[in-house]
Chain A
């Protein structure tokens, strides 16, 4: 089932993996958040370097829910409206750890590559 999901979007969105990682990381460190809070948190961490189309967050949240990496419950937001609060699950945490180490390895490789590229 998961295989057939949103395969077209996967191809297009280069940032997707990164966004998933950021969402998981934010939920892991901040506890349950709703979509707006998540957008703010990502904005804050990236020091506005990353201009996010905030709607994209919801696609990421849905994707992560399908994979059962996060769960959602209804609650009330600051302006007292119905809002969904997302929390990371245990599988989500495991996935985050895997993601993180993977990311560090790749960024390390790319960093080395970029540093050595000019010496030839």
Chain B
């Protein structure tokens, strides 16, 4: 079709040649029959007819009329938009904000949740995980389980496994933290990695007792080892274990953006290490559905796993880590939904603006109809106009999206996400998305105004336009108001819930002196601190130096002791008095004096003393429990001296309760008002650990001596990394809160924008309706109607769709807010305060928006109004 248009010019040349040839042949014929050449030519031309006219006929036939007309419509639209700059600006800004925020959020979602999988034949990949028979919860399966299942499956081509952890890499080049990926033998190849030099992994590498080997990524080879050629065969130390480098591989892309793997090792196939969990990656045979494969897997895999839990294997849709973190996923998707809602509101707003403008243009449209434009043509003209507006808005939207992304980065939305945001570029995909959104927007915004505008009856409009008759009022603008109010209310309630939940986190007591504790993680290079005495000497030295720093009143050590901790004790709990439970609690290893240092009150019993550190492994482990944990198991009984067993991964430890501490925010503030999230165990820390946190208690008002502490560490041993973890507990918690703050700020922003749009939309609608009735109002007042009465009547009229919208919005919000319950901690998704305050706020805004134009109209002098017509 377009080809024909492009070919049009060539076809015209062809036609001309053909016609010339025709006339020449005809001339020859006349000459042969005896005419003089000039005469023959004239006769031939006459017989052929008007050559130019014929050519034009053919030209038109080859054209595409609607394209020509579309072009005409575009030019006409641009002209008509230029004539009404205020309207155009309002539309473009409204849509630009809507489209821009949508694009920004989409690019975040795309960069985090929607990354394509890095595997070969990715369309057949499924992840293999373990589903608990008891509560259906999903976890990674034990590596040995994956190994057991793989050969039993006929629906699967092959299965690989991987797990990653953060490790300390030491050696001559200093200590650094990197991510180690432990993989089954074929994994690296399936993930598209090539061996650059040396060899890849071999099945022998996985056997217990084999020489531990490692492969390193090209990136690490270049950055840490300066791409030196003699690296193969060298021994490096990973978390205190020596490994021989046997190969260098190309970097592999992770399925989770921001996770960069530097070192690769074989996943053990035997011994205790094989009981640890790993993610299975399987390739289904072609044409096998996941359901069919799942049925098979479930039938062969039902068993009891190493931690004594009945479970089955299950094939899951392969999703990256971001997706599997349900709180993160829900939050991202909810924000995407919020931003889409905002765009719909913007759209409705624009539709009502265009509709209002259409009423103002009724005369013009009626004239066009009267002069013979078809209804289709007028409707199309108006649609083209909104298309032009939407495309301009799309361009503005891109600018808005770009600045919004900068704003996101400034909000520090959690560490993982932040690094990701900085790498987002507005690439072709994003621009394409924006254009698509703009086009859809144009149709959605434009269709009602176009249909209404083109439905104009020339006769009635021209008569009404004379101002001598009452004007029919369309129901559309009021319907738009109702829709807009309903959607904004949903957004406002959502934002209210998120904000309240966030404020609760902030306001709830951290349970300790967060602003008075400075912590740093210390990882001693294992090759230089092999002997326990060496480690003990380092920490003694550090304690002495740190306690001399200005403002420091106490020094302590811990492991997972600096809130928020992410160490968890998990397994089967059995108390001596017979209570059993599926148990999960935060676990902190702490030195004597920890509770005083942190400012965590001891409610009962006592804290640790030096003698507890030397407790032999045969006896019970002394433990301090949190108040929430005590309430669960020993609410009325005396917990001191009570004993319990905890079985983790087949290994049972016995504990005896030494004391009860107040609830502190070990797991982070976002777990406030969730008693189970406040379960915490404190156990003694051996004095000479390789990996330790140093905790300093600061005097009131003393600034944190961060730089001095760094210097003190470097003075003892410059090869000890005192990395970016050096910060006060308050800062740690603050960072921990960043994700929640990001969410609250965005929802708040969207909601504020939505309310502003509603106010603006209402104002426009009421303004138009009042303007149309100005004359009527003037007459009524002249006939003795009291202005106050008129005002009441008009306010009631304007509020009716608002009230309908509020009711609908409340119902809608009540239905949808439960989907975001995952990250609403501490408040119900139908929190009464939010459900009351949000509609109240919208109602106030609505009344204000309506009163403006109404007051203006009823204050007019009737004589002026009537005269101005």
Contacts and interface: CB of A to CB of B under 8 A. Distances in A.
B61 A66 contact: yes
A26 B17 CA distance: 23
B330 interface: no
Contacts of B64: 1, 4
Contact of B25 (A9, A59, A63, A77): A77
User: Which of B19, B48, B64 has the largest count of A CB atoms less than 10 A from its CB?
Assistant: B48
A53 B49 contact: yes
Interface string B42-84: 0000011111011001101110111000000000000000000
B24 interface: yes
Contacts of B428: none
A39 B18 CA distance: 13
Interface string B7-44: 00000001101110110111010000000000000000
B1 interface: yes
A66 B61 CA distance: 9
Interface stretch (A81-89, A94-102, A109-117): A81-89
A26 B53 CA distance: 25
Nearest to B20: A81
A36 B54 contact: no
B62 A39 contact: no
A55 interface: yes
B60 A36 contact: no
Interface residues of B, dominant DSSP: helix
Interface string A1-23: 10011100100000000000000
B66 A58 contact: no
Contact of A35 (B22, B53, B66): B22
A54 B53 CA distance: 12
Given A4-B65, A35-B18, A62-B61, A78 B25 contact: yes
A29 interface: no
A44 interface: no
B55 to A, nearest CB: 8
Given A1-B1, A63-B61, A82-B17, A55 B24 contact: no
A78 B27 CA distance: 13
Contact of B22 (A9, A54, A66): A54
A79 B1 CA distance: 35
Contacts of B26: 36, 39, 54
B115 to A, nearest CB: 42
A55 B50 contact: yes
Given A79-B28, A83-B21, A5 B15 contact: no
A31 to B, nearest CB: 18
A3 B60 CA distance: 13
A87 B476 CA distance: 58
Contacts of A5: 61
B47 A54 contact: yes
Contacts of B61: 5-6, 9, 59, 62-63, 66
A77 B18 CA distance: 10
A55 B54 contact: yes
B463 to A, nearest CB: 33
B54 to A, nearest CB: 4
Contacts of A59: 54, 57-58, 61
A55 B25 contact: no
Query: How many interface residues does chain B have, given as a range?
Result: 20 to 34
Q: Which of B14, B25, B50, B61 lies at the interface centre, i.e. has the most chain A CB atoms within 10 A of its CB?
A: B25
A56 interface: yes
Contacts of A6: 57, 60-61
Contacts of B21: 34, 36, 77, 79, 81-83
Contacts of A63: 61
B66 A55 contact: no
B18 A58 contact: yes
B42 to A, nearest CB: 14
A6 B64 CA distance: 10
Contacts of A55: 19, 48-51, 53-54
Interface in A49-94: 53-56, 58-59, 62-63, 66, 77-79, 81-84
Contacts of B51: 55
B22 A36 contact: yes
Contact of A84 (B14, B24, B53, B57): B14
Nearest to B15: A58
Contacts of B54: 55-56, 58-59
Contacts of B48: 53-55
A67 to B, nearest CB: 11
Nearest to B24: A79
Contacts of A1: 1, 64
Given A1-B64, A84-B18, A58 B58 contact: yes
B595 to A, nearest CB: 83
B187 to A, nearest CB: 54
A109 B119 CA distance: 74
In this complex, the member of A6, A54, A59, A84 whose beta carbon has the largest number of chain B beta carbons within 10 angstroms is A54
B57 A79 contact: no
Most B C-beta atoms less than 10 A away, residue of A35, A58, A84: A58
B18 A62 contact: no
Given A4-B65, A54-B49, A58-B18, A36 B25 contact: yes
B62 A62 contact: yes
Interface string B628-667: 0000000000000000000000000000000000000000
Most buried by A among B50, B51, B61, B66: B61
Contacts of B49: 53-56
B69 to A, nearest CB: 10
Q: Name which of A4, A35, A56, A63 has the most chain B CB atoms within 10 A of its CB.
A: A35
A58 B12 CA distance: 12
Contact of A83 (B18, B53, B62): B18
Contact of A9 (B17, B47, B57, B65): B57
B45 to A, nearest CB: 10
B22 A62 contact: no
Contacts of A9: 57, 61
Contacts of B28: 79
Contacts of A82: 17, 21
B25 to A, nearest CB: 4
A18 to B, nearest CB: 17
B19 to A, nearest CB: 7
A68 to B, nearest CB: 13
Question: Chain B CB within 10 Å — which of A1, A59, A79, A83 has the most?
Answer: A59
A84 B17 CA distance: 10
Interface string B509-551: 0000000000000000000000000000000000000000000
Contacts of A66: 61
Nearest to B66: A4
A84 B19 CA distance: 10
Nearest to B65: A4
B19 A58 contact: yes
A1 B63 CA distance: 10
A55 to B, nearest CB: 4
A84 B26 CA distance: 16
Contacts of A84: 14, 18
A81 B53 contact: no
A48 B47 CA distance: 12
A77 B17 CA distance: 12
Contacts of A83: 18, 21
A84 to B, nearest CB: 6
A65 to B, nearest CB: 9
Contact of B58 (A53, A62, A78): A62
Interface of B: 1, 14-15, 17-19, 21-22, 24-26, 28, 47-51, 53-54, 57-58, 60-62, 64-66
12 contacts: A5-B61, A6-B60, A35-B19, A36-B21, A54-B22, A55-B51, A55-B54, A62-B58, A66-B61, A77-B21, A82-B21, A84-B14
Given A34-B21, A62-B62, 8 more contacts: A6-B57, A9-B57, A54-B48, A55-B54, A58-B15, A62-B15, A79-B28, A83-B21
Which 7 pairs of residues, A with B, have the shortest CB-CB distance? A55-B54, A53-B49, A55-B49, A36-B25, A81-B21, A36-B22, A54-B48
